Structure 1
């Protein structure tokens, strides 16, 4: 029996899929496309803000723009007064161009280009400084006002990370900020932590609160910390995920490709999104003493968050048209009008596991299960969107649509390329006004 891993049911997406709109878009756009649901972004942002309010914590949410290039989501940030996390001059320019104020930007990433530092400083953005060399470059910027900075901490539990300052360099950075006078406004600390575990984030956040108190002794402002992102998204039900991890093997994949459980994103998470933030705030740093939320309040420290994927949960999907079907022994190979570059999990030599939905071009065909993997339109043998043999309810035919669910977070465009001169899948913004018989759409700007 084939393993199945369907995404959680989504009534809004199901209404769109049965409205006939996707078929019209596929015909009109002449190829694969992504659709976006900005109202879901609004809902996710509100949930994070509610979690902060419930805990009595002063905090701000910054959308990690790298998770999706669409203008629609940055525009929602501007409308809602949320911040945006950028890591390049291009991202900074796009955020400003779509209405986000400079003081609502936080600039992250490793050694930043001179242009990025200069424009960020002039716009009043908050710059997460990653090294002493970068701090020196910041201190030599010619700006009419102090440059706002955070000092990024190297996580002691992840000493192999390339991000952040260790203890000695952090002490040196604090002294340089203290002696810089009005050239810099050192507002606090940040960290980049891999993984999705709650306790390590609470532990390191607690350490950063103590660092703020230490920095204030030197006369520095130090009134905020950023714990970055790393808020998981729950894509699939627990039972299906556990069964999949326990039973998946080479026979489930084209060419008997092998994966281990550690190769996959954790597509099921019992604590995800804003609930993960609640868990972090309720955790006790170091496993003892007051919860993190109380420590933040007592120290007068603001909490900054930089979620990307979690703000984009259920906020978009990817649609391809089936171009052809070939049979192999016991399964088939579909070819669609796109490539695996539009499902960026392949970048990590992994697989996007929530199963694509088949929308038949014409209803009423015989419903006989058909197992198939999904290949891209390029000439590369490794260009498979889905190596796994998916059990479709019927044999797909040319003209049918495949909808990959919940791809807005990192999947759509992180790795996109017009290889073979194939067009990049456009992004379509969809909403469904109350009282309207069907959804409406426009192309993302």
Structure 2
């Protein structure tokens, strides 16, 4: 048996998810958000299918180059970057960058003269599991000024973009972003060529319903109306989450203050960072225990000595009443933001390993 914990990743599901995304958004350039899962086999598969890539660091740039992603298909989506980051990207052939500040526009003018620049808008990301809380983006008035500044310092004011927040379940969030972009265009007088719709495309977690990709696409299409810029999107979770199952082992079951606690050999620091604040509630499966077996509520905790390493206290997590040490608990839909979040050795525990279960041969999508 393979070691526990581990992430089992089915690449055939990644391929299916990518095809599904392209079917729902046939006129959108999908730029995979590398941070969701940077496994080399995932990157190579998506590169072979013709996907673009959304980068945030030199490490992600190098990983994409090794995977065969063409530089013309890369966009540097992080608006916070060092001069050395920009120099490395330019040297590799990357020419599309996102910005949201005057200082960063000036940095790009010095290090990437003539580059295509997309200004990131701040949007209302209510409805998302992990909102950005004002970390990135500017209002339309400031975005208009940045477009003009980019033009004046020799850059190409290529586009506008926004991000509706991760695991966004409200399709109207994309509509609000499009409306802000329209206002920025009107205020600037710049004929932008591209609109980046960001990421946030949701997958099923917990018991709540999430909108389909087709519902989101319909809302976006209706809001765009007759405005038809080149569209880019940055799916991450939507492409890889359902491909992953995080396999864990029960270490201890005990009672504390009248509640049943279940401790696993995986926790917040081994890949389940998105359980912070119980933002993401994973669907759980217990192999060897029939679905009809009696279940009861638990507090689910990780193995480390850190008091914050508790996954769920408030969520209605029900596990078999006869669960015992050595039993397996599987986290479904865990292909995104798990292995990439795992620590490299907190409490002496090793990084979360990934086991590839399928290696399909992709048919490359023609340009």
TM band (smaller chain): 0.7 to 0.9
Give the aligned partner of residue 364 of structure 2. Answer: none
Q: Deviations over 1:184-240 (max 9, x none)?
A: 33321112333542224224324535655776x66x6x211101012222335xxxx
Which runs of 5 or more structure 1 residues have no equivalent in the other structure? 1-23, 242-266, 285-291, 434-445
Any conservation in 1 of the 2:198–2:233 contact (CA below 8 Å)? yes
Aligned equivalent of 2:303, options 355, 377, 387: 377
Aligned equivalent of 1:275, options 195, 214, 222: 214
Q: Deviations over 1:108-139 (max 9, x none)?
A: 22321212222223322410111111011111
Which runs of 5 or more structure 2 residues have no equivalent in the other structure? 127-131, 361-367
Give the aligned partner of residue 163 of structure 2. Answer: 192
Aligned equivalent of 2:116, options 131, 144, 148: 148
Taking a change above 3 Å as real, the CA distance of residues 149 and 396 of structure 1, as seen in their structure-2 partners, is: same
> Is 1:323 the counterpart of 2:251 in the alignment?
yes
Aligned with 1:295: secondary structure?
coil
Taking a change above 3 Å as real, the CA distance of residues 206 and 171 of structure 1, as seen in their structure-2 partners, is: closer
Task: Give me the whole-angstrom Cα distance separating, in 2, the residues matched to 1:134 and 1:335.
Answer: 45
Aligned with 1:81: secondary structure?
coil
Any conservation in 2 of the 1:343–1:352 contact (CA below 8 Å)? no
Q: Deviations over 1:236-265 (max 9, x none)?
A: 5xxxx4xxxxxxxxxxxxxxxxxxxxxxxx
Taking a change above 3 Å as real, the CA distance of residues 423 and 210 of structure 1, as seen in their structure-2 partners, is: same
Higher helix share: 1
CA shift for structure 1 position 369: 4.3
Give the aligned partner of residue 63 of structure 2. Answer: 94
Aligned equivalent of 2:275, options 331, 336, 346: 346
Aligned equivalent of 1:109, options 65, 78, 84: 78
CA shift for structure 1 position 428: 0.8
CA shift for structure 1 position 34: 0.6
Give the aligned partner of residue 365 of structure 2. Answer: none
Q: Please, what TM-score do these two structures have when normalized by structure 2?
A: 0.83
> Is 1:423 the counterpart of 2:341 in the alignment?
no
Task: Give me the whole-angstrom Cα distance separating, in 1, the residues matched to 2:215 and 2:339.
Answer: 24
Taking a change above 3 Å as real, the CA distance of residues 393 and 304 of structure 1, as seen in their structure-2 partners, is: same
Q: Deviations over 1:360-409 (max 9, x none)?
A: 4xx89xx6546543322212344223335743335123322110111122
Taking a change above 3 Å as real, the CA distance of residues 45 and 209 of structure 1, as seen in their structure-2 partners, is: farther
Taking a change above 3 Å as real, the CA distance of residues 376 and 229 of structure 1, as seen in their structure-2 partners, is: same
Q: Please, what TM-score do these two structures have when normalized by structure 1?
A: 0.69
Taking a change above 3 Å as real, the CA distance of residues 88 and 334 of structure 1, as seen in their structure-2 partners, is: same
Q: Deviations over 1:321-374 (max 9, x none)?
A: 122333457653332222222211233x226423422224xx89xx65465433
CA shift for structure 1 position 71: 2.4
Task: Give me the whole-angstrom Cα distance separating, in 2, the residues matched to 1:64 and 1:125.
Answer: 17
CA shift for structure 1 position 147: 1.5
Aligned with 2:46: secondary structure?
helix
